[in-house]
Amino acid sequence: MQNPMTFENRTGSYTTFGSVRCFDPKPLPPEPPIELSGRLSVILSAADRALARLDGAALTLPDPDLFVYAFMRQEAVLSSQIEGTQASLEDLFEYEAAAAEMPQAESDIVEVINYLNAMSWALEEISKRPISLNLIKGAHKKLLHQGRGAARGPGEFRKNQNWIGPTGCAIEDASFVPPAAPLMDAALSDLERFIHEPAELPPLIRCGLIHAQFETIHPFWDGNGRLGRMLVTLLLCSEEILSKPILYLSLFFKAHKQEYYERLQATRDHGDLEQWLIFFLRGITVTSKSALQAAQRINLLREECLRLVPELSKSNKAMMLLDILFRHPYITVPQVTKRLATSYPTSNKMVSDFVRGNILEEITSAKRGRIFAFRPYLDVLHDSIDDLTGVLESEDYLVTQSG
């Protein structure tokens, strides 16, 4: 059997550049081309159908932005957790509710907030211009704006060699060495060309190839994983496969972290792009189905609350408070007062009514600075994560993956 470190395949070859042996990727599309037949064809069809159902459902919802808000925050937390942060969804919501009273956010929360800002900025930008290297650098600058990555070249491609491996390992012990900086520059230009050229491959295949190529090039000192996962959603929205950014793959990648890395490495060592794409498309399928179920649950919760609120509160602004909660599930009475332009006693009464109806739950004990959580909404978000995790760990899914 050939040693992958000594021969060339359709994705590239290992080469010595200076004193370092690194990977030199070939441009996309690969040659020989992707074989869109057999199992890959079947799985691509399933992924296309699942994603189309999700996008179609989003267009029929009364307020799709409710789901954008929820799913973006879920993704920001999960994508950051893959990189080692410990912040939870509750930590994020609590920070957003009490940011004015917090002199400085904890470092893990900063990572999540950076991700949200980067994603929001990039989504706004792709509505005005195509995805480009400059746009990717701009998103990276937001991603590492502050916190642990602020000294790691925000918004700038690396000028020197990096490598992937256990924390603190030497380059000789790395599990993968990306292209040296001059080779990286050429590879990035080729990747940008592939993103812009007329599509000859199905969009989801292109998306999977672009993600793998970006992670192989590894153009930044830090943040490559988070930005690469973000790029998947940006591509789907930019190519109008999704009308709203409501699909994110971080939970799938987190649940199969080892396989994720192994499939990517096999594309470099053996040119095995088909198996990587099968893995990637499985993620699209199960994540689309999970997101659709979560959207339906949130919609049902909203309908239930719309029926309940008039029985709980006589205020003519109670429905407005309900709408606010779907965008700010952690809230304080002063925030209600400000957002609804009402008096503190009126806001306090509405919040108390919502607590009595089990819509809100106080999560602090102090009389001042009290924070209230929209618990039923949080339960839906956690149930969606638990359900998808259960699917990914189920025997049927594992058999399907290996079949």
The pLDDT value recorded for residue 18 is 86
Query: In the prediction, which pLDDT does 385 show?
Result: 74
Q: Helices 203-217 & 38-60, crossing angle to 10 degrees?
A: 100
CA Rg, the chain, in Å?
23
Domains of the chain plus CATH, in order, are: 12-294 (1.10.3290.10)
pLDDT, the chain, mean: 89
Q: Note the pTM of the prediction, 2 decimals.
A: 0.90
* Contact predicate 310/318, CB 8 Å: yes
pLDDT digits (tens, 9 = 90+) for 269-319: 999 999 999 999 999 999 999 888 888 888 899 999 999 999 999 889 999
Percent of the chain topping pLDDT 90: 64
Q: What is the DSSP letter of 330?
A: E
Greater confidence, 251 or 144? Answer: 144
Alpha-carbon gap, residue 105 to 107, rounded angstroms: 6
Q: What is the pLDDT of residues 158-181, one digit of tens each?
A: 999 999 998 889 999 999 999 999
Residue 100's pLDDT band, with cuts at 50, 70 and 90, is low
- Token pair, residue 255, equals 């649940």
β-bridge mates for residue 13, sequence order: 24
Average pLDDT over residues 98-114: 77
State the pLDDT confidence band at 89, using cuts at 50, 70 and 90. Answer: confident
Helices (H), 6-145: 38-60, 65-82, 89-98, 107-126, 133-143
- Tokens standing for residue 230: 């973000």
Residues listed for the chain: 403
Which pLDDT value is given to residue 353?
96
Helix axes 273-312, 203-217, angle to 10 degrees: 110
Residues 187-212, mean pLDDT to the nearest whole number: 95
Which tens digits make up the pLDDT trace of 231-281? 999 999 999 999 989 898 998 998 899 999 999 999 999 999 999 999 999
Do the beta carbons of residue 148 and residue 111 sit within 8 Å? Answer: yes
DSSP code at position 314: -
Evaluate whether 326 touches 402 at the Cβ level (below 8 Å): no
